[in-house]
A and B are shown apart, each in its own frame.
Chain A
Amino acid sequence: MTPTVAEFLARWEAAGGVGWYVGPDERLGDRLAEAWQRWVPSDEDAVAALWLPEELDRPERLLPWIAAVRAVRWEPGQDPTAYRQAAAAAAMGVTGALAAVAETGSVLLALGPTTPLLPSLLPPIHVAVIPTDRVVATLSEAFHRLYRAAAAAGWPPVAKFVTGPSMTADIEGQLVVGVHGPRVAVAIVCEEPLA
């Protein structure tokens, strides 16, 4: 694990999130299964709202988890209202990310036709999966990445830096996690398999 990845995971946890690292000889699907088992109540209908970058979205990387859940995916052309309801009913949302920032412990997400934000917002648990090469040291680098992506493909209607789980201190100043957004925010930094 590089120092940048380590710093990102430490800062993400300091912000109240859960940070995991999946090495080259490990399987992402095992960690997703672990998250599922830990935080999804067992009586829950097994629905996950899901999208991942192409290189990670393969059965051999997502097993055994992917076999045990029903995954709701957004396909352009689908009815947005139905998708929204499905995402709101999901027990867990799994997404990729444009970047992760070590300096602040943040994950950058950008809305696009294949990258909806709702899975990161509506379910009570959000798991962001970040390939190692997308972890950058500073906020500036992530900003510049977004700027370059926008110069090439136009600005996303909405983009956001997420730093930990949704939280509030509005009642007597006491910190409570999980107001409108997810209560559990997991970031998994995922090494590319060597082969």
Chain B
Amino acid sequence: MTGTLPQDPRPWPTRREAALKNATMRRTVGEVTRRLAEGRRRALADYPEGQVKLQRAQVAKRQAVARWQTLWSELQAAVTAHGGTPHFAATAAEAVALVRQIARQYAVRRVIKSKSMVTEELELTQALAQDGIVVLETDLGEYIIQLAGEKPSHILGPAIHRNRAQIAELFREDAAQHGLLPPSSDAYEALTEYARRRLREEFLAADMGITGGNFLVAETGTLVLITNEGNADMTTTLPRVLVSVVGLEKLVATWDDLLDIVQQPALSGVGRRLSTYTTLVHGPRGPGVAEGPEAWHLILLDNGRSALHGTPYEEVLTCLRCAACLNVCPVFRQVGGHAYGSVYSGPIGIVETPLLTDFRILPELPSALCTVCHACAEACPMAIDLPAHIIRLRQEKVRRKLVPTAHRWSIRQWAAQWRTPAGYRRTIRWARLAQRWYRRGDRLEGAPGMAAGWFQSRSMPPVASPTFREWWAARPESAGRALR
């Protein structure tokens, strides 16, 4: 079944212009992505064992995605045996309904969340707010954008588009609203200290925690969460109810498979052998235990994923959300995550957004935000052939007539002309006739129709008279024979 994803209602040119004009965002995104990409390169270079594990992990993950249904049955049994409650949600709406129902069942008033892309997909915070439940993001970046009413701009650094002064302003307003001491200065440490102080009370007061998940191990019923701040550890151990919403592509078969794959997000994402916290959740607390939830609900989410099963796109589901492809993408480095208009940005977002929603939203992504430079394919730890998928999606768009008619017609005419040498020569003669309106000095600086776009930031030499071909054919030695 087709999935649904939220989307930025602004059209692509508006999103693009907004991104290109945001100097703060462009500087920070540029610096952060370069640093992360460099960290990854160094971490991999001095850890050959990581490569060996990775090769096994690629195979294991592809197999797991192909037989997710069997693994899900296994996982359900294991989770139930640990005292957890597994649920399946075919659509985003079903998942949201489940979480709301669980919140009602346990009379939940306050929720804390650790960072999760899947819950962004569901717009869960907004849904729970409708029931009068206070939901707080606890990842520092997510908390900042929650205060700003924005969406994440990078998988790992959701708030990298905002600068320190803007964040300090948000925190001061927040402090005034809650009668708290504001951050003592605009320094990084002071801002972080404010978030620690502010969210600490929320951690201790919350009745329900919501997490996503990096991996689910079918054999052992383990949910794996990878974080650096410690907020996922609070979320999984302090509130009395824990709900984890996880995409079905996160399943891996065995404990040994987990061992091969568990370091990969940190290695490829931030260039460390492990992130600060690798948290393994198995179930609610037993008797006599000081912490941990009293109830654990695990929701496996489909939302368009299983539709990729058996298609050439199936491997896309092996994505680890490590963000390596974003960090090396020249387009992402220029425009940042918001320009994509989807929860998932960067090369993987270009591929997943139309696939999960069957092209219902943002069909411009594969065409407008990729130069097919192949940097992402080299960076992807899971060897997902992102450029090939992007090209396949472009072809699919033409087949489905998702390309503007004028655009399709122009390209078709062009192709028809250039199918023969005579046709090619004809178009060159036409161009020579037409170019006088677009000539500035000895450069060509414009063209009619669709071709005008090309000249927005470039110029080219005009068509020569005679062209090389004409000159060649006119030589006495050629005896009137044209170049073929």
Contact = CB atoms under 8 A, between A and B. Distances in A.
A27 B140 CA distance: 39
B277 A181 contact: yes
Contacts of B133: none
B278 interface: yes
Contacts of A160: 233, 277-280
Given A84-B204, A157-B292, A170-B141, A179 B282 contact: no
A32 B55 CA distance: 43
A166 B159 contact: no
A76 interface: yes
Contacts of A146: 280
B289 interface: yes
B167 A158 contact: no
Contact of B273 (A80, A103, A143, A169): A103
Contacts of A80: 290-291
Contacts of A182: 230
Given A113-B289, A166-B276, A178 B192 contact: yes
A173 B289 contact: no
A74 interface: yes
Contacts of A172: 28, 160, 163-164, 188
Contacts of A11: 273
B22 to A, nearest CB: 14
A143 B255 contact: yes
A14 B287 CA distance: 38
Say whether chain A's binding surface is mostly helix, strand, loop, or mixed. loop
Nearest to A103: B273
Nearest to B24: A172
Nearest to A74: B290
B345 to A, nearest CB: 17
Interface string A161-175: 111111111111110
A12 B136 CA distance: 32
A175 to B, nearest CB: 8
B221 A155 contact: yes
B421 interface: no
A179 B274 CA distance: 18
Nearest to B158: A170
Given A158-B281, A173-B28, A84 B290 contact: yes
A20 interface: no
Contacts of B228: 166-169, 179
Contacts of A118: 237, 290-291
B238 A179 contact: no
| Chain B CB within 10 Å, residue with most, of A11, A77, A117, A158 | A158
A113 B287 CA distance: 8
Contacts of B82: 155, 157
B280 A158 contact: yes
Given A178-B192, A180-B203, A77 B288 contact: yes
Contacts of A147: 220, 255
Given A103-B273, A176-B192, 10 more contacts: A143-B259, A154-B286, A155-B222, A158-B282, A160-B278, A170-B159, A171-B164, A173-B160, A178-B192, A178-B196
Interface of B: 28, 31-32, 35, 49, 82, 138-141, 144, 157-160, 163-164, 167, 188-189, 191-192, 195-196, 199-200, 203-204, 220-222, 228-231, 233-234, 236-238, 255, 258-259, 262-263, 272-293
Interface of A: 11, 15, 74, 76-78, 80, 83-85, 88, 103-106, 111-113, 116-118, 121, 139-140, 143, 146-147, 150, 154-174, 176, 178-182
